[in-house]
């Protein structure tokens, strides 16, 4: 495994304008095209909020198992709440991490016959009674990460020589937000080291906050490269929606997390932003010099992407959380 650094970009250069902005856009295009991953500094999110999020996450995972299970995801048709170690699958194998999933806080939609099944993704989050401050901290975090992701989406549009607001109609009613608080326990001898198996993310963009422990690895030119945590930065990666929108010009890159050594736990938060559920993936008209390099998205025949965002998101959720699928979507699995 290599220790090579991923590119590091500074978002304050984008806001500064002039030469600094041009340099940022050039670096962004290069990082997203060649690597699919980069560190982001200068994002403007307060270090205090970051500490509060990691602290509430630590407190949550330290709760007695029975209290965590009170907010188990299997209670929620909206895929919100707690998943035990081994409860989520990647490539059909259990991931050795426990996690707490949050999305946009919304009322439940009453589904009528013939309506789109992905409407059922909308609804309330679950929150543990034991941590009354958790809700406000985590929702503030989700909102701030949404703002940073939206700024990045504008920057991507410009970097691809599009109108800055070319993606806005796909997030106008509120992009699809999905936040995970994650804890990777140290592996015991003989146990699997699949913290999370090799995968690409499905949305537009992902922002990962790593605590102090390394573990996130990125596949570059056939080699797993460690994304060493850098304080004050997020790791940003391109998801399959941006790859699809740019006809493969931008790259969604495989990555994984290797479990920490025995006795060490790794904390992270991952925020995935996609287009709103009722959107279709926008297909950009690239200028000829960029289009010449856009060879189509690298799709996995075993897991075809749908251009309809809600359908794509629901398919991903059903594959990852089989218990939720069985409990709440038994009637739909054949359709998807
Ligand atoms: O925990 C991390 O560092 C990354 C997690 C990840 O890639 C994911 O959940 O999609
Ligand atoms: Fe990921």
Structure token digits, residue 242: 């941006």
Which residue's alpha carbon is at the smallest distance from atom 10 of ligand 1? 201
Please say whether the beta carbons of 55 and 47 come within 8 A.
Answer: no
Interval 12-68: pLDDT, tens: 999 999 999 999 999 999 999 999 999 999 999 999 999 999 999 999 999 999 999
Delimit the domains of the chain by residue range: 8-332
Q: What is the mean pLDDT of residues 126-154?
A: 98
Question: Which residues, at least 6 apart from 293, have a Cβ–Cβ distance to it below 8 Å?
Answer: 33, 249
Question: What integer is the mean pLDDT of 147-154?
Answer: 98
Say yes or no to pLDDT of 276 above 60.
yes
Q: Give, in degrees to the nearest 5, the angle at Cα 215 between 214 and 216.
A: 110
Q: Give CATH superfamily name and number for 8-332.
A: B-lactam Antibiotic, Isopenicillin N Synthase; Chain (2.60.120.330)
Measured from CB, residues less than 6 Å from any atom of ligand 1 are 180, 182, 196, 201, 208, 210, 216, 255, 257, 268, 270
Q: Give me the pLDDT at residue 15, please.
A: 97
> pLDDT tens across 77-118, in order?
999 999 999 888 887 789 999 999 999 999 988 877 778 889
CB atoms within 10 A of CB 257: 28
Mutate to test the pocket of ligand 1, among 39, 88, 182 (most ligand atoms within 8 A of CB): 182
Ligand 2 centre from 122 Cα, in Å? 22
Nearest ligand atom owner, CA of 227: 1
Q: Ligand 2 centroid to 186 CA: how many Å? A: 19
18-24: which pairs have CB atoms within 8 A and are 24 or more residues apart?
A: 24/155
pLDDT cut 70: percent of the chain above it:
96
pLDDT, residue 292, reads 94
Given a cut of 90, is residue 74 above it in pLDDT? yes
């Amino acid at each position: 495994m290599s220790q090579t650094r991923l590119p590091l970009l500074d978002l304050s250069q984008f806001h500064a304008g002039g030469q600094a902005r041009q340099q940022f856009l050039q670096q962004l295009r290069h990082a997203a095209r060649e690597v699919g991953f980069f560190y982001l500094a200068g994002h403007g999110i307060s270090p205090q909020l970051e500490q509060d999020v990691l602290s509430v996450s630590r407190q949550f995972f330290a709760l007695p198992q029975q209290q965590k299970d009170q907010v188990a995801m299997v209670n929620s048709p909206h895929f919100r709440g707690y998943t035990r170690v081994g409860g989520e699958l990647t490539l059909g194998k259990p991931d050795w991490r426990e996690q707490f999933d949050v999305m946009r806080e919304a009322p439940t939609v009453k589904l009528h016959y013939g309506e789109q099944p992905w409407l059922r993704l909308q609804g309330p989050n679950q929150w543990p009674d034991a941590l009354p401050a958790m809700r406000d901290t985590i929702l503030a975090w989700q909102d701030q990460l949404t703002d940073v992701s939206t700024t990045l989406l504008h920057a991507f549009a410009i970097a691809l020589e599009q109108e800055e607001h070319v993606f806005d109609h796909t997030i106008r009613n509120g992009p699809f937000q999905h936040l995970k608080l994650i804890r990777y326990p140290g592996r015991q001898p003989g146990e699997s080291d699949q913290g999370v198996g090799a995968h690409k993310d499905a949305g537009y963009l992902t922002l990962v906050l790593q605590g102090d422990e390394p573990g996130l690895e990125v596949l570059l030119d056939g080699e797993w490269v460690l994304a060493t945590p850098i304080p004050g930065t997020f790791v940003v990666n391109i998801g399959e929606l941006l790859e699809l929108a740019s006809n493969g010009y931008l790259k969604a890159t495989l990555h994984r997390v290797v479990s920490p050594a025995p006795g060490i736990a790794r904390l992270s938060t991952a925020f995935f932003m996609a287009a709103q559920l009722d959107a279709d993936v926008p297909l950009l008209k690239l200028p000829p010099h960029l289009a010449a390099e856009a060879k189509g998205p690298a799709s996995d025949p075993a897991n075809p992407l749908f251009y309809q965002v809600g359908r794509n998101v629901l398919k991903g959720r059903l594959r990852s959380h089989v218990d939720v699928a069985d409990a709440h979507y038994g009637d739909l699995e054949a359709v998807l």
